[in-house]
Amino acid sequence: MSDRSLRGMRLGSQSMESEAGVEPAPRQRVEYRTPDGEQVFVTFASEAEIPSVWVSKSGKEAVIVNGEKPENPNEKHQRTHWDMLMERRTTEELEEILEQRIQFYREQHAI
């Protein structure tokens, strides 16, 4: 009896919905080029903000062809541990902490 109720339908493998009357969102196709001439085409939504640099599948940075070019696409400043430390402490504070730690270690080894 249970075989009859499921006969003729593949459950979960096909959708009963059709694509009739469905309109895709407006899009724009943007061209990028790597320094060695490789072309990269990327499709964005029409209201999307277009980046001036795109990384291609080969891992190379490609620059937009028709649009604003970045001043220096390879210049990415990453904050180091030292930069983050200097945002929280001054040089004088760091020197004071260093002196305290040196004194602490000297006392530990003197015992």
- Residue ranges per domain, the chain? 27-64, 78-110
- Predicted TM-score of the model (pTM): 0.46
CATH fold for the domain made of 27-64: Rubrerythrin, domain 2 (2.20.28)
As a whole number of angstroms, the distance between CA 79 and CA 103 comes to 31
**Max Cα-Cα span within the chain:** 88
Residue among 21, 22, 58 nearest 39 (CA): 58
Confidence of residue 102 (pLDDT cuts 50, 70, 90): very high
Structure tokens at 66: 């028709």
- 91-105: average pLDDT: 95
> By C-alpha distance, which of 97, 100, 53, 47 is closest to 75?
53
Write out pLDDT tens, residues 27-70: 999 999 998 989 999 999 999 888 888 888 888 888 888 866 66
- Sequence-distant (≥ 6) Cβ neighbours of residue 32 within 8 angstroms: 39, 40, 41, 42, 53, 54, 56, 62, 63, 64, 65
Half-sphere exposure at residue 88, Cβ-oriented, CA atoms within 13 angstroms? 5
